[in-house]
Structures are given as C-alpha cells and as structure tokens.
Amino acid sequence: MYDQVTLGLNVDPFILSALKEDITSEDVSTNSVMPHPQQGEVDLICKEDGIICGLQVFERTFTLLDSNTTVEFFVKDGDHVKAGELMGKVHGDIRVLLCGERTALNYLQRMSGIATYTSQVAKLLEGTGIKLLDTRKTTPNNRIFEKYAVGVGGGNNHRYNLSDGVLLKDNHIGAAGGVKEAVKMAKAYAPFVRKIEVEVETFEMVQDAVESGADIIMLDNMDNDLLKQSIDYIAGRAEIEISGNVTKENIERIKNFGVNYISSGALTHSAPIMDISLKNLHAV
C-alpha cells in the first residue's frame, strides 16, 4: 500500500484529475435519478481469475469524493481471486457511489491486469535467480499505479523516471559519439551514487561498455549466439540485463543465460485488464 505521504502528495492528484476528466460539471445521469442524498451499498465482484491489485486506490477514489464513504474488503492486494468472488462492499451516498464507479473500477481493473500478467511472467523465471523488471513504457500519468502493480505481481521496478538513474540508450550514445564517450561523460556528470547502465546491440558495443567501466550492460534485441558471446565476454565485470520485446510467450528463449535481469515493457503496455464490476446497488 502507499504510505500516507505518498498517497497525499503523489497519488491523490492523479485520482482527482481522473475524476475531473469524468465529471466536468455534474453527473447528469446520477442527478436525474437521485436528486437527494440516500445511503446505499454496492458489491465489488470479480468476473475472472487473477491477482487483485489497487484496492487502496479504488477506495481512495470514493473517499476523495466523500470522506464518509466506507469500503469493506474481503481480499487484499496480491491475493489470487476467482471469477464470481465477492471481494468487498462499498457503503455511502448512492450519488457518490455512482459518480466514482467508473474511475474506481478503471484503476482497479488496470492495476489488477498488470499484476496478473506480471505474475504469469514471473512464474516462468522461478528458480533462475533472474529479477524481472518493468520499464518506463507506462501509460502517461499512471506510472505510479502501474509500477506498483508490477511489484504486487512479483516483478521489480526498473528506474522510476529520468531522474532516477543513468541509462545510456542508442540515441544517447549517438549524441555522445560512442559508448566510451557516453560512459565517460556520464561518470563525470552523474552523482557517484548513480549506477551507469548502457544499452548495447553489437559485440563491439559490449566490448566498449566493459572497457569503459559500465555498471550494468543491457543486451538489447540480440539473438542467442550474440547473447552467449556477449555474456561470456562480460564474465562478471558488469551486471547484465536482457531486453527487447520480451513477452510471456518468448521469455523461455532467454531465461537460461544466467543474467541478472530481464526487462519487459509488456508488463505495463500489453497487460489486459481484469474484468471487475460493481453490482447489486441498493438503498440501505
């Protein structure tokens, strides 16, 4: 769960922005059928198997609309849930329940989908000692939610944003004039506590990355022969990450190379949502 400082400073503004996107002046449908306050209750029901994630964000969506809203959960983030399972109940003003329904479910469905997909990929790496990493290929303004979901699903977060670490990719290397030049400039500029990671695509780039003292070398979109050649050459002189269009369907090819990390943008950009609904709304 998010701590209270993170929740207030970094999570709430995004939820409020999403609510404002959905309610620009009023909820015309709700105000048409419910002109006056009326206490009610609605069931939170899972419609397919998966890993639930985002319950705190789901609840926060309603309490930001009305602090008197309460949510009773029967599951917690990271739990395996089954189709048809009653996961909780939301209590409050029916108008608030109707206004917040879609935004709350959007977060919960998206985060649960990412956690579920990540869990499936992470299981394929069990016993290898490899850490599964996400990337910055996240939905704009949803990174704080999507990276949290990766963690709940058993993955690990790569750098959170551009301020979080040094990753010299192909265009950085091109701008600097080469791998050695890029690493040298990064070492001179970046704080000494920052590790320097370099993305490489050829064996010559691997050699330059090792010789220049890169901390982590990302082997990007390499075939098996080049991966083996590169890993043998690095020989423990840097940590190794494999990347490049890694999905649940193809991770088997690269999981036995004995590297430190495998990163996959698919964890966040290609995970399907998990089907979840609010049903049986009634007055109490």
Catalytic sites, residue numbers = 137
Q: How far is CA 239 from CA 60, 76, 260, 262, in A?
A: 39, 35, 6, 11
Neighbours of 128 (CB within 10 A): 14
- What is the C-alpha separation between 125 and 253, in angstroms, rounded? 11
Cα–Cα dist 234/153, whole Å = 31
